[in-house]
Amino acid sequence: MRFTWGVLACFAGFSTTVSAWSTLRPGSFSYNRDQFLLNGKPYQIIGGQMDPQRIPPEYWTQRLKMARAMGLNTIFSYLYWNLIEPSPGDWNFEGRNDVAQFFRLAQEEGLKVVLRPGPYICGERDWGGFPSWLSQVPGMAVRQNNGPFLAAAKSYIDRLGKELGQLQVTQGGPILMAQLENEYGSFGTDKVYLAALAKILRDNFDVFLYTNDGGGQSYLEGGQLHGVLAVIDGDSKSGFAARDKYVTDPTSLGPQLNGEYYITWIDQWGSDYPHQQISGSEGAIADAIADLDWTLGGNYSFSIYMFHGGTNFGFENGGIRDNGPLAAVITSYDYGAPLDESGRPTDVYFRLRETISKYVAAGSIPGVPTLPARAAIPEFDLEPVASLFAIGCEASKEADNPISMDAMGQSYGYVMYEHRVAKAISGNVTIGDGARDRAMIYVNGVRVGVVDTIYKVPATVRVTLKEGDTLQILVENLGRVDVRQRLRDQVKGIVGNVAVGGRILRKWSTYSIPLSTVPSSLSANSKGYTVKKNNSPVFYTGSFDLPKGASSGPDTDTFISVPKGVKGVLWINGINMGRYWTIGPQQSLYVPGSFLKETNEVVLLELEPQPDVRLSAEGISERKWFNSPDPDAP
């Protein structure tokens, strides 16, 4: 077992503090053609991806202990720029963004770290981790040799350097190396851009850089940069062969590393899209184990993507789209990972642990910590209390044409567009260059249809409007696209004009509805609300108590289910748990027990409330994945 000074300090009866980091012994991490070298000795990376910003900080240590107990020696972590700098120059390194603390905890558990800082990270995050305000910077063009983009990226990476520089292996910390960009060969071939970004990283970090690309010719040739180690992801056997065939620059060659070894894949909302997992399938698990066994036996390095996925809390998920429909990523990022969304080991975890144990020193893998069972919360009622349109709208602007979400200074949530009809008109509603991403259409507050881009051919909505009628369009951002060419333009809301029957409508009021917090006026409107047919979205409230004798923590982790809800958002104690949607495959929201109190206040926004349906919720201890028909399917 390799002891760091931090681990030795713990054994000696005292813990490493922030002020003591400067006393840690500097180390080195390098490589030759065949091996990584830690302090001059061979080091096989047995890694797994785990992103701290998807995990409650109260659970970081437990998740890291579970990684070490599966046999991992290295954690790979993306950093999400959009959470760290939500507005220009507004830095947030608290809570889930205290990534330096996560890395310190990793070192205390005997784990090394590979830093994947972006600025672009993909990861099925909103716009690949880019902050939405980038789209409003004049002259901005992401992921290329563009002055405004490189200036913004430099500011971000410079700030990371101040936060994380002391945690590099060269200064006694756990960070071994840092990734340059992310799968750039899937996007472009701009070597001038890559070189400029590499310089920014090297100005802040003195560990070596690497690139990570798919195992194909165009990916590797596009993403490789002189002087930077080239690494593949995907299938190890074909990817390793492709790396040595298509990367001919000797300065980019070195030991083989699969930077993202996929065990399963992502989940997206859809009536016909099942949960992606291999747990419970002996054949699928055997195939994954065989691949990993081959990789370990060849003395190659790898990182399992994901070892632990975590959660897309709030509106943080991204989307995937080329020329077809939007694949909106679900709230859960369980990913069918060995360590599930709640931090419990699966059958895959134990099989991987068994395989890894064959290739490491006997006794070097600690025992698997035990965790309590998750809690069950009895069913509790949710009462309708107020219309979203009455209390949810914030700032508004008047203009001839609808204003985009981003131009309103808004990143996530909803935008409502309102037009007062001056002259009778009828026909199909057409929305700019297409809804971005889901448009609910109302006439005088009554829902008349839904246009949703998760479908290849979204529904057509026809309206008949009289003079004096009010046309309202509520647009939901389902997640900015985070891959390939579509991510160049990820402005949300309505971009362009709205027409009815081919005639463009002028004079619109645009209302911002970010729902970054529960509306403060909600409590003042809690005397009850009567839901009507095709009602506008409605807030519901309720509460539940923890089981007697229970306290905040893993023993009260649960999955909240709203069985009769159609689509909406759930807050508990003011924390946005994320979206729910009847179409699945996710039918419950993970609620960490660390978020809970003795009595817990629940707010739910139901986008499609039903007049004769009593809404309730419950906490289930065992999650169920399944799909349901979409009531709004075209």
Give 527: exposed, middle or buried? Use CB within 10 Å, 0-12, 13-18, 19+: exposed
181, 260, 418, 608: the catalytic one is 260
Strand partners, 414: 476, 513
- Say whether 260 is catalytic: yes
Strand (E) or helix (H) holding 149 = helix 147-164
Which of 412, 445, 402, 617 is CA-nearest to residue 533? 445
Tokens of 413: 């949530």
Residue 183 annotated as catalytic: yes
- Contact between 310 and 341 under an 8 Å Cβ cutoff? The reply is yes
**Which H or E element spans position 212?**
strand 209-214
Cα 425 vs. chain centroid, distance in angstroms?
43
Catalytic pick among 85, 109, 163, 183: 183
DSSP E strands, 508-583: 508-513, 538-545, 558-561, 567-572, 575-581
- Rounded distance, CA 557 to CA 104, Å? 25
Residues 6+ apart with CB under 8 A from 170: 26, 27, 28, 206, 207
3-state secondary structure of 513: strand
- Per the DSSP assignment, residues forming a β-bridge with 616 are 381
CA 265, CA 269: separation in Å to the nearest integer?
Answer: 14
Residue 97 tokens, joined: 């963004």
- Rounded Cα distance, 585 and 54, in Å: 20
Distances (CA, A) of 26 to 21, 231, 283, 496, 633: 10, 26, 45, 56, 59
DSSP state of 95: G
The whole-angstrom separation of Cα 431 and Cα 497 is 6
Rounded alpha-carbon distances, angstroms, from residue 64 to 6, 105, 269, 343, 374:
15, 8, 29, 10, 19
* Continuous segment of H or E residues that includes residue 242: helix 236-246
Q: Which are the catalytic amino acids?
A: 183, 260
